[in-house]
Amino acid sequence: MTDSGLQDVPAVRRPHVEPGKLFIGGQWCEANAKGRRDVVDPSTGKVVTTVAEADAADVDAAVTAGRGAAGPWARMSGRERARVLHRVADIVRRRADELVAVESLDVGKPVSLCRAVDVATTAEIYEYYSGLAQTIQGATRQIPIPSHAYTSREPLGVVGAITPFNFPLILSSAKIAPALAAGNAVVHKPAEDTPLSALLMAEILAEAGVPDGVLNVVTGGGAEAGEALLRHPGIDKIAFTGSTEIGRHAARTAGEALKPVTMELGGNAAQIVFEDADLDKAIGSVIKGFVFNTGQFCMGGPRLLVHRSLYDTVLEILAGAVAGVPVGDPFDPATVVGPMAAERHLAKVERYVALAREQGGRIVTGGKRLELDGGYYYRPTIIAGLDDGSRVVQEEIFGPVLTVQPFGTEDEAVELANGTPYGLAAGLQTTDLARAHRVAARLEAGIVWVNDWAMLDPAIPFGGVKQSGYGREYGPEALESYTKVKSVVIAL
């Protein structure tokens, strides 16, 4: 496939992107109703291209293509599927410049981080599941009935993958790679704000030899294309990543049809700095935890809890360090923080900072936009002095904003850390090994980091507890979630 309009993008320059099409059954096609949606460069606010706007008929065509392709793909051996997935990893690495350019343009990601994190991780995910595709196995069970009894793992059929705007490449690969490894077909609906890399990946998967119809990409809005995918009777599982609000709706809808789901939802993690922390390391980790991806990071750590004895010192060091973080054009290799991905996300951050001011919060640094080229820039912001019950502390802001609160005892730190409805990630800084284990065990989160932030790998499962969802991505856990167990008992 070479007609997505996304090829020939020069390395780390703002690319010219031709209008995108839907990818259904191995063909690039216009949407049924000829609908189109603008794609905006968040660093300028200007429309850079358009993509097709799928409706229910397009989703139906994609699911039909998936159903036709799923059987032959499932009947291939795991080793054959592994070869194809490994080629995807190789092509991602070979075409890294294009992927970096497109993803940075679409999301506003700094090119250097996009290459090192988003594109590198995408290749690693395909590589990892290429390995696991060869390990799918059942078990024999010895039972009192004279029989030969065994289990096997079978693919589910066609998976509906719905992804959010913030890590388009990684989050879609975290669904597509294990689903394909297990022998399923996929219909992917990327986020409406950031759909471009999904089209480039469709091209790459086709180039790697993924058969027509095994991956289908329908760009479009949540209310129409997303909803049609959720409700389609030909979909066997919904793999959803997004907000808790939409996730709740998606789980309810899929539950009505008794479809399995994975729900990767919102987060609002705490980073705890204990009095025995290595402060140099802790400061770096805290900053990474809230500015990475301009704070549009489900696993970010926007709530800093600092032991009272270090509170003033940490605030002072942070204020200086954060003010020096380079914010600007994502295509400048020196940039660390780019724009927010869309104007509505910037507006949300502004509303929360205004609320913090109303509630007596003290803006330690930032607290305003950065006016640059008409882009959606917001300065990394630290807010002190808010009560734990403040909405600014409790809710997911999803921008480069850190609230800071002091604590006295370990119990108090754990209580504050666990004191929101979310439970995706949590972290602590300590040099006391016993404390690291003790506190990690008490934190209500799907993943806990000690003495660094965002240590992620395709082999380490991630996912949430509480309002952050259920099910796990990454690791063998994700592969299993795209299979069903069959028991066979043969009388002897």
* Residues at the interface with ligand NAD (CB under 6 A): 162-166, 171, 189, 191-192, 221-223, 226-227, 230, 241-243, 246, 249-250, 264-267, 298, 396, 398, 424, 464, 468-469
Q: How far is the CB of 159 from ligand NAD (least distance, A)?
A: 14
First-to-last alpha carbon distance for the chain, in angstroms, is 51
Nearer to ligand NAD, 226 or 361 (CB): 226
Closest CA to 292 of 100, 110, 43: 110
Q: How far is the CB of 401 from ligand NAD (least distance, A)?
A: 14
264 catalytic? Reply is yes
Q: How far is the CB of 175 from ligand NAD (least distance, A)?
A: 10
C-alpha span between 79 and 483 (Å, rounded): 17
Q: How far is the CB of 236 from ligand NAD (least distance, A)?
A: 16
C-alpha span between 246 and 223 (Å, rounded): 10
Q: How far is the CB of 262 from ligand NAD (least distance, A)?
A: 10
Q: Choosing from 124, 264, 396, 444, which is the catalytic residue?
A: 264
C-alpha span between 334 and 325 (Å, rounded): 10
Q: What angle do CA 381, 166, 37 make, to 5 degrees?
A: 120
Contacts of 432 (CB under 8 A, 6+ apart): 274, 276
C-alpha span between 413 and 433 (Å, rounded): 17
237 membership: H or E segment, kind and range: strand 237-241
In order of 46, 146, 267, 303, the CA distances from 300 in angstroms are 28, 55, 8, 9
Nearer to ligand NAD, 110 or 295 (CB): 295
Nearer to ligand NAD, 183 or 226 (CB): 226
Nearer to ligand NAD, 311 or 453 (CB): 453
Contacts of 154 (CB under 8 A, 6+ apart): 74, 183, 483, 484, 485, 486
Contacts of 9 (CB under 8 A, 6+ apart): 15, 16, 17, 97, 98, 101, 102
Nearer to ligand NAD, 406 or 464 (CB): 464
C-alpha span between 392 and 399 (Å, rounded): 12
Closest-CB residue for ligand NAD? 222
C-alpha span between 480 and 306 (Å, rounded): 39
C-alpha span between 189 and 84 (Å, rounded): 22
Nearer to ligand NAD, 305 or 447 (CB): 447
Q: Any idea what DSSP says for residue 295?
A: G
Burial (CB count within 10 angstroms: exposed 0-12, middle 13-18, buried 19+), residue 343:
middle
Closest CA to 463 of 156, 237, 247: 247
Q: How far is the CB of 21 from ligand NAD (least distance, A)?
A: 18
Nearer to ligand NAD, 242 or 367 (CB): 242
Q: How far is the CB of 105 from ligand NAD (least distance, A)?
A: 18
Query: Sign of the C-alpha dihedral, residues 350, 354, 359, 363?
Result: positive
Q: How far is the CB of 368 from ligand NAD (least distance, A)?
A: 23
Nearer to ligand NAD, 98 or 396 (CB): 396
Annotated active-site positions, please?
264
